[in-house]
Structure 1
């Protein structure tokens, strides 16, 4: 079973871009009409041009309507509203994503790490509003065609708390409309907290996400559903998202033929089969995988091995989560791997690196060629926002040091160098 993005949600996501395209098109038509009329009048010797009597009034589009969307910004919904775009410009150039030739061959995907809508984050949202955690990064989240993250807690008002766990979470259904409005189009449930409130909590989570029109992957009423990807459409391209976890607290959490649970990848057999199947349906295949060691800067050896297997099976992007810190990047056979995007919205801890986060942009073609750019951010009070230039430069340099044959440019663009990481000895087995 595959799911397509609803027309209502797609229209809500794209209305700003459509409005901009309509205005630019109207202006061009008016200009052509004026030129045509002017040409006819020029031929008439008896015609007196208006500017011979009084100065003309020139019309120019509102410059706030013409924003640079390279970093994920979009035109304001209402005229006169201040843009929140991170890289706005006043040149009047049409945004790349609204050009017909670009739209036909390129899709803009955005990814973040762990999303926790429970614990102290829940208390903050109840105090400051459910939209508060997203406000600092809103332009990056809404600016993409499709935005994805890992939902690290069940959404339920019921359930029985899991035993023998250090941390058990529960989030409110009231938090989901803000998650959708922030721009999230799909979330993965394949992680070690999805069944924190038991099977009842997982079933509630899927229902509440469905009600909020947020597609989800990585969990289900049986293993068939858990391993079924979600397919979303953007600019004529079909993008498949598959959720997997190699961090499962106990065997009973694994989805089976008659068992509600998550799609696990301790053995890659089921995962590879799912990737190969959806490869036949989709233009792009994204694997979102929960794996690795908490607070570790380097991926485990199996992470690198599994990522390669996923790509060999047909994945175009592999996006990791779980370590609660950022890990590096790698390119394999022309496909990109992000080993961990760390926390995005999460409980604040004393471990400073867990507050380092960001949004990963991927501009991909139908052929599966992607260009990646990472926007460094710092989370304060569970609210990520762009770092200042100095902090951002330091974080990007560190990401380059822990990546594998990847240079990270000053603007966050990733470039494959084909070399070894600067500190390869840090990799763990």
Structure 2
């Protein structure tokens, strides 16, 4: 091999050596870049994970604080009770039928009767009336009774259409057609979701999670002898978990605007033993409202949807409302009330009872409120 060939081969070897060195360098650079990228990505994911965990922890802590704050805040529940007076959804068989409530029902339908007051009853949480009469097919009338009231079972739809949820049956017309007429009426009401209470039967209604106890007491021919039963019913409701108690009484003297001593004594006794509101009916006219130990006594709610008279001389009535507030299940003493003056007939100017009670405003409404104020002042 001559010197020229030797140098040529040496150049080739050197070139190959340099190429290998460059290739190794390129690979190292690529590996370095890739490793840097991997490290950067790893660091980014690590940082993101730390940030995410931190955010989750912050969210967890914030949620925990909110729950702790909520747990510390008292639970406040308010509920509004509406009460109305005598509802006789029927007639006496000896009354003139064409002007009777059942005849009006046949012509107008169930929704007609409470059409004017339904917005009030729909907006409240519980509506209570006195159901004076029977819904039955029984025909054996109570002997020696001047007036006996009954109606077909379908008349219960007057109450359901009017957003009424509870009815007192402790009154002097609940057995107008015998004991079965009484149990028939209870059955009809309960089937339509209306809580029937009175006499030995009490009821507890769940209103916004608050257990409202209801009892009804018939006083007319028993007077103070009915007190023991009333007290026992209140005690029973307490034992059954009632958080507030409404006591309804059928009492007093017809057409008397001032309660008698028995009414006052029974009302005070009911509150002394645990009632939070006392509602009265039977006089067919308005009486005053007394506040006793921070509780309200409505001595007479008067007539309301009253099929017992097609032309009553006194058509003034009212809806009594009270809003009760509970804090952590305990009744507060805030005593928020509202009296809505009404007429028993929406055509009261004619002197005819069309059995459609309606709220009234202006001078007419003010006159009714003034009457209630006068009767209330007479209690002092």
TM-score calculated relative to the size of structure 1:
0.63
Aligned residues between the structures = 285
Structure-2 change in CA distance of 1:109 and 1:103 (3 Å): farther
One of 310, 318, 338 as aligned partner of 1:373:
338
User: What residue in structure 2 maps to residue 52 of structure 1?
Assistant: none
Which residue of the other structure, out of 225, 249, 269, is the alignment partner of 2:228?
269
Which of 163, 174, 178 is the matching residue for 1:183? 163
CA distance in 2, matches of 1:185, 1:102: 29
1:284 maps to which residue? 244
Match of 1:138 in 2: 118
Residue 210 of structure 2 corresponds to residue 237 of structure 1: yes
CA contact (8 A) 1:159 1:201 kept: no
Question: Secondary structure of 1:136's match?
Answer: coil
Aligned-pair CA distance for 1:124: 1.2
Contact 1:298–1:327 (CA<8 Å) still a contact in 2? yes
Residues 128, 151 of structure 1: alpha-carbon distance in 2 compared, 3 angstrom cutoff: same
- 8 Å CA contact retained: 1:244, 1:265: no
CA distance in 2, matches of 1:424, 1:358: 19
1:424–1:312: structure 2 CA closer, same or farther, 3 Å change rule?
Answer: closer
Contact 2:114 2:161 in 1 (8 A): no
3-state secondary structure, aligned to 2:275: coil
Q: What's the CA shift for 1:178?
A: 3.2
**Displacement of 1:200 after TM fit?**
1.9
Q: SS of the residue aligned with 1:382?
A: coil
Match of 1:59 in 2: none
Question: More relative contact order in 1 or in 2 (CA 8 Å, sep 6+)?
Answer: 2
Instruction: Report what 1:315 is aligned to.
Output: 275
CA apart distance, 1:182:
1.3
Residue aligned with 1:402, SS: helix
CA contact (8 A) 2:84 2:128 kept: yes
Shift of 1:358: 1.9
1:82 maps to which residue? none
* Contact 2:113-2:158 at 8 Å conserved across structures: no
In structure 2, the CA distance between the partners of 1:179 and 1:351, relative to structure 1 (3 Å rule), is closer
Change in 2 beyond 3 A, CA 1:265/1:350: same
Structure 1: segments with no counterpart, 5+ residues = 1-100, 219-225, 252-263, 404-420
Residues in 2 aligned to 1:152 and 1:424: alpha-carbon distance in whole angstroms: 27
- Preserved CA contact (<8 Å) 1:297 1:325: yes
Conserved 8 A contact 1:265-1:271: no
Q: How does 1:171-210 map to 2 (within 5 A)?
A: 171-210=151-190
Aligned equivalent of 2:363, options 373, 387, 390 = 390
Residue 337 of structure 1 deviates from its aligned partner by 0.2
Retained in 2: the 8 A contact 1:145–1:234? yes
| Correspondence 1:159-178 to 2 at 5 A | 159-178=139-158
Pair 232,424 (structure 1): closer, same or farther in 2 beyond 3 Å: closer
Which contiguous aligned blocks of 4+ residues in structure 1 show a shift greater than 4 angstroms? none
Q: Deviations for 1:150-206, whole angstroms, at most 9, x for unmatched residues?
A: 100111012410111111111111111331131111101100000000012112112
- Secondary structure of residue in 1 paired with 2:226: coil
1:392 match: secondary structure = helix
Residue of 291, 297, 313 corresponding to 1:352: 313
Unmatched tracts of structure 2, length 5 or more: 1-72, 92-99, 346-353
Instruction: Give the TM-score taking structure 2 as reference length.
Output: 0.71
Which of 148, 155, 162 is the aligned partner of 2:135? 155
CA–CA distance in 1 between the matches of 2:264 and 2:294? 15
Q: How far did residue 104 of structure 1 move?
A: 3.4
Structure-2 separation of matches of 1:424 and 1:289:
18
